[in-house]
Amino acid sequence: MELLSQIMIMAVGAIFINNFVLAKFLGICPYLGVSKKLDSALGMGMAVIFVMTMASAITWLIQSYLLVPFNIEYLQTIAFILTIASLVQFVEMVIQKNAPALYKSLGVFLPLITTNCAVLGVAILNLTADNGLPYNFGFSILNGFFSGVGFTVVLVLMAGIREKLEYAELPASMKGMPIALIIAGSMALAFLGFAGLKF
């Protein structure tokens, strides 16, 4: 029971209170770039959940069994970004070979994820463990997963709003990026309300 409640707290924290996009400003580029259509937003979200979960697992292993034993923690940034880049490439190849249908829907988004700072961000944040949860393999993976879900929720919400926005009459200079940013701001304002949640 103790474990289950810890996991619940982590899920709510990662998805709503410390949302990656709206509270921590990670993964803004895909958030603004891929949120024009609902389908592609959903595809991107799924790909990010998958890669963030995998990346959390692998970077945890690298940190605990490679960097710490050899006292080379200062190489963290280089090691992590290389791991993530090769992981994305590897995942892309595996999916292409074994699940062509999935590749068709996720394929185009996978290369974009390497430069998504949310992935590197979750790998580094997992190590700081400032969320008061124990730092171990299982929790790192769960944190990666829930952070990805948080990203997807916000991305899909944004895509829904922007699809409707196509029909709105806006001043010409507000069209496109400016209005998207202002809507993102309003969403962040709404998500700020979750900060009051206490357990």
Q: Which residues bind other proteins (CB under 8 A)?
A: 22-29, 32, 74-78, 81-82, 85-86, 114-117, 120-121, 124-125, 171-174, 177-182, 184-186, 188-189, 192
In the complex with other proteins, the residue whose CB is nearer, 24 or 36, is 24
**Shortest reach from residue 67's CB to other proteins, in Å:** 13
Give me the DSSP letters along 47-66.
Answer: HHHHHHHHHHHHHHHHIIII
CB of 121 to other proteins, least distance (A): 6
Q: C-beta of 18: minimal distance to other proteins in Å? A: 11
Least distance (Å) from other proteins to the CB of residue 2?
29
Whole-angstrom Cα distance, residue 79 to residue 68?
Answer: 12
Q: State the nearest-atom distance from the C-beta of 143 to other proteins, in Å.
A: 14
- Give the shortest CB-90-to-other proteins separation in angstroms: 13
Helix extents (H) in the chain? 2-12, 28-33, 38-62, 76-98, 100-106, 110-113, 117-128, 137-165, 177-192
| DSSP 8-state symbol, 10 | H
Q: Kindly tell me the burial class for residue 167, based on how many C-beta atoms sit within 10 Å of its own C-beta (0-12, 13-18, 19 or more).
A: exposed
Of 5 and 186, CB closest to other proteins:
186
- Cα separation, 168 vs 141, whole angstroms: 41
Which CB atom, from 105 or from 114, has the smaller least distance to other proteins?
114
CA distance 171 to 179: 10
Question: Of 5 and 77, which CB lies nearer to other proteins in the complex structure?
Answer: 77
- Residue (90 or 99) nearer to other proteins, CB: 90
Nearer to other proteins, 36 or 105 (CB): 36
33 in Cβ contact with 180 (< 8 Å):
no
Look up residue 13 and give its DSSP letter. Answer: I
